[in-house]
Amino acid sequence: MNLLVLKLVLTPALIALASLAGRKWGHAVSGWIVALPLTTGPIVFFLALSHGNAFAAETAAGILAGGFSLAAFVIVYGRLASRWTWPPTLAAASLAFLITTAILRSVHLPLLPLWILVLTAYYLAFRSLPRDRDPRLQFGEIPAWWDIPLRMVVATGFVILITGLASRVGPHLAGLLSPFPFFTSTMAAFAQHQYGSAAAVSVLRGLLLGLFSFASFMFALSLLLIPAGVAAAFAAAVLAAVVLQAASLWLLRRGIG
């Protein structure tokens, strides 16, 4: 099948499934679901097919390093949401992501220390979030009809953009830019506008719980793509992600998220 056709079918299907599940179970679960590599996973897969396993492995390592930028985004959004409305909060968090990404362009850490440090950054970001709960938080509302189609379009466009730019900007920068939280931004901003800052923080808390499996997924891909090949690397990465995602869901259901 043509790679463009795969991008146009696989990515929106994954996003639609995640959005419907998050719509049913609430804000924290929405953040948890978005932590799955629904766009970055296909990006690495398509790059492996079009640019080779070595290029894709380096991109996966760049995506893993982008976890520092994600942590910066979450910390800034979580700390400012109770003080500002969603537009300046989102702008400040996005700026924090881009500044961190610019710093990381010249940083290349060994894979294992990188993975450990990213997990540590997620833990610290989780601890930094406010713990207040919003009594007005209600689930089950059905958003506008265009909500899920818009998410599908944005995700698919982003996958096509990153895979198209990868050969120009290089695998490291392409990887660093790939984790930009488009869907987290959308859900956090919507939750903050409709339900208040605690709802947005709930999205971020669910996201961080899920990001441990995301980081491990990228770690496995970067480690195994060259020696094991695409099929084995993705099988191992998916297994690691499923195990850790199940553990984080258990924590979420126990009220830790």
Does the structure show a pLDDT above 80 at 174? no
Q: φ and ψ at 142, to 5 degrees?
A: -100, 115
Q: What is the pLDDT of residue 163?
A: 67
How far apart, in Å, are the Cα atoms of 97 and each of 73, 221, 226?
A: 5, 23, 29
Tokens 């939750």 sit on residue: 191
Let me know: does 105 contact 169? Beta carbons within 8 Å. no
Give the global pTM: 0.81
With a CB cutoff of 8 Å and minimum separation 6, the contacts of 141 are none
The structural domains of the chain, with segments of one domain joined by +, span 3-131+143-253
CA distance linking residue 199 with residue 187, whole number of Å: 10
Length of the chain: 257
- Enter the tokens of residue 146: 């265009």
Section 224-249 average pLDDT: 93
- Residues 184-203: tens digit of each pLDDT: 787 788 778 877 888 889 88
Section 104-117 average pLDDT: 92
With a CB cutoff of 8 Å and minimum separation 6, the contacts of 24 are 139
Section 39-56 average pLDDT: 89
Give the CA radius of gyration of the chain.
17
Does the structure show a pLDDT above 70 at 229? yes
Instruction: Give Cα 13 distance to the centre of its chain.
Output: 17
* Least confident span in 54-63, 133-142, 207-216: 133-142
How far apart, in Å, are the Cα atoms of 13 and each of 33, 35, 74, 152, 207?
A: 14, 16, 26, 8, 20
Between these two residues, 58 and 11, which has the higher pLDDT value? 58
Which range has the top average pLDDT, 33-37, 184-188, 221-225? 221-225
> How crowded is the C-beta side of 135, counted as CA atoms within 13 Å?
0
Predicted confidence band of residue 245 (pLDDT cuts 50, 70, 90)? confident
Q: Helices marked H in the chain — which ranges?
A: 3-25, 27-34, 40-51, 53-65, 67-80, 86-104, 111-128, 147-169, 171-177, 182-195, 197-228, 230-253
> How crowded is the C-beta side of 92, counted as CA atoms within 13 Å?
15
What mean pLDDT is reported for the chain? 83
Section 73-98 average pLDDT: 94
* Least confident span in 77-81, 170-174, 191-195: 170-174
- Enter the tokens of residue 13: 């299907």
